[in-house]
Amino acid sequence: MDPLVKLDNEKGELLHDPEKYRRLVGKLNYLTITRPDISFAVSVVSQFVSAPRTTHWQAVLHIVRYLKGAPGRGLIFHPDCLEVTGYSDADWAGCPADRRSTSGYCIFLGGNLVSWKSKKQSVVSRSSAEAEYRAMASVTGELQ
């Protein structure tokens, strides 16, 4: 998905076959189990399954083209180390519609990705520090 494109509910025409969009987004959502690199993009296009537009369809096709161009980026495990490392990040007021932030985290076990999440925060953060703190709290909760 192009990071410069901001999707909303108004740009583009409504799709004539929204079921096709929903099926493809569902398949992409399933792929996020082994392809965490598309988690954020899929979560964004998933927000528009009720009334998809042509701009949303183009974003979904962009994800598919990315997957086609990067087939070997799935999960690969190496059993030589058991060190746990966690990373978190958040954007601040990234959704223009409701000004909520998106949190994300990745947890590695011995360099192997074992858990990840990308989710819109349930409340509006008043600062970037608050958004980052909420992201850090979510990864800490996962580690406990």
pLDDT tens, residue by residue, 50-83: 999 999 999 999 999 999 998 877 766 667 778 8
Token pair of 70 as six digits: 């990067």
Q: Quick one: average pLDDT of 116-140?
A: 91
Q: What is the DSSP letter of 130?
A: H
Computed from CA positions of residues 48, 32, 67, 98, in that sequence, does the dihedral angle turn out positive or negative? positive
Q: Is the per-residue pLDDT at 4 higher than 70?
A: no
The kind and range of the H/E element at 6 are: none
Parse the chain into domains and list their residue ranges.
18-69, 84-143
Specify the residue for token string 């990373």: 87
CB count within 10 Å of CB 124 equals: 14
The kind and range of the H/E element at 27 are: helix 18-31
Residues 6+ apart with CB under 8 A from 116: 36, 39, 104, 105, 106, 107
Phi-psi region of 73 (alpha: psi -120 to 50; beta: other; left: phi over 0): alpha
Contact 64, 70 (CB under 8 A): no
Token pair of 56 as six digits: 């949303």
pLDDT in tens, 81-112: 788 899 999 999 888 888 999 999 999 887 77
